[in-house]
Amino acid sequence: MNKILKAQFFVDDLSDDQKHVITNINDYIKQGLTGDTSSVAIIQGAAGTGKSVVLMELVRQYMTDHRYKTSLVVNHPELYKAYQDLAESIPNMKASDIRRPTSLINYAQKNNKKYDIIFVDEAHLLYSKSEPYAHYRGQNQLTDLMNLAKVVVVVYDFEQVFQSKMYWDKDLLFKTIGSHPHKSFDMNFQYRMVASDEQVAWMDDLSAEKPLKPFPDNSDFEFKLFDTAGELFENIKKRNKEYGMSRVVATSGFPRIDGRHNVEMDSFSLPWDEWDPQRTHWAKREGSITQVGTIYTLQGFDLNYVGMIIGPSFGYDPKTDTMTIIPEKYSHKEIFKKRKDRQFTRDEYKVFIANVLNVLMKRGKYGLYLTAYDDALRKRLLELAETGK
């Protein structure tokens, strides 16, 4: 089994909290398998709380036991590749039982297939509307999955919602589940980062446009601010040589220059990440050190160090001393796609964009290197770091 993937998705020494959640979900699954209607187990938690570790322990338990008809689905192409790699290394587990949700739904409906358990990682990426371009013609993928299985185990983080076609909140989730039996299993303990609770709260406050304050210095988590993206990149390359799995990431909004749509700032100019049909996921490829990662290649993955470039759609308001979110400067149009069933406000689009920043900042287990495209925002962050006020 690939060592990097094993370290992320399988933990030899599970915490007491994780063991407790797994035991409770196991009890719920066994109860649901004897029921007359589909039931839903909801694993909830913020980024880095170990949701995927818990899910994969359950996956390894049930998907290697041929008494059960099972499938694992994830609507994220890079995670899909990772799970395919893992499956090939786990005895009695079939990689063919891991699918994208649209693929499983279309296959099962065409062939009248039913399942005992369907596991869904990153369920906040399920389509909550028809998406014919992606060959999904249903109205809600969770509804379709519930119709296929006795038990559906879903992993949700509502703070990782960032597109209208994948819009979820608790109201929509429970409306979709309707009268089906369901139970929530909450995970509120941080495992990815060595950062303290106060340092994680700083990232949350920055994304939420709260007044700026110095980054707390109360853990081994390494936080550095840079005046140039070029200097940030040089430091990330050093960390990558020393520890591996260190990458530069950015949010959308960088202008096209001479026809190029690179991330360009001061001496820094690199292309965005590229989708590749190869099985190796983006963060593991050696060549990705010379590309800029996005939510589409890194959601659900751990890095050791992340170099975060806050893009042009974030500014600074000196009156409130806050970072501001400017949707009009966010150039990735998928976020703004219209829906027939609901309208989104400017503030809701701002939340989508804030979620992208928040998720990317939390990719690094051991450190966050940070800079900002906006001159005023970058200056204020550096000032706070230097003076503490």
Quote the percentage of the chain above a pLDDT of 90: 68
Residue that the structure tokens 């909550």 belong to: 128
Total domains, the chain: 2
pLDDT surpassing 70 at residue 273? yes
The C-alpha atoms of residue 274 and residue 283 are separated, in whole angstroms, by 11
pLDDT of 300 reads 77
Helix 16-33 vs helix 51-62: angle between axes, to the nearest 10 degrees?
50
Nearest alpha carbon to residue 311 among 260, 250, 358: 250
Comparison of pLDDT for 164 and 32, the residue scoring more:
32
Question: What integer is the mean pLDDT of 164-181?
Answer: 93
69 domain-assigned: yes
The C-alpha atoms of residue 252 and residue 186 are separated, in whole angstroms, by 31
Are 271 and 294 contained in the same domain? yes
Boundary-marking domain end, from 128, 163, 187: 187
Write the pLDDT tens digit of every residue in 136-155. 999 999 999 999 999 999 99
pLDDT surpassing 90 at residue 306? yes
Are 180 and 259 contained in the same domain? no
Question: What integer is the mean pLDDT of 64-70?
Answer: 95
Boundary-marking domain end, from 187, 215, 237: 187
pLDDT surpassing 70 at residue 15? yes
Domain encompassing residue 268: 197-387
Are 150 and 278 contained in the same domain? no
Nearest alpha carbon to residue 131 among 339, 342, 356, 353: 339
pTM for this predicted structure: 0.84
275 domain-assigned: yes
pLDDT surpassing 50 at residue 164? yes
273 domain-assigned: yes
Are 114 and 216 contained in the same domain? no
pLDDT surpassing 50 at residue 1? no
Are 176 and 34 contained in the same domain? yes
192 domain-assigned: no
Are 142 and 202 contained in the same domain? no
Write the pLDDT tens digit of every residue in 282-305. 888 888 999 999 988 888 788 999
Are 215 and 347 contained in the same domain? yes
Are 255 and 284 contained in the same domain? yes
Write the pLDDT tens digit of every residue in 75-110. 988 888 888 888 888 888 898 999 999 999 999 999
- Tell me the CATH number at 52: 3.40.50.300
Are 159 and 206 contained in the same domain? no
Question: Mean pLDDT across the chain, nearest whole number?
Answer: 91
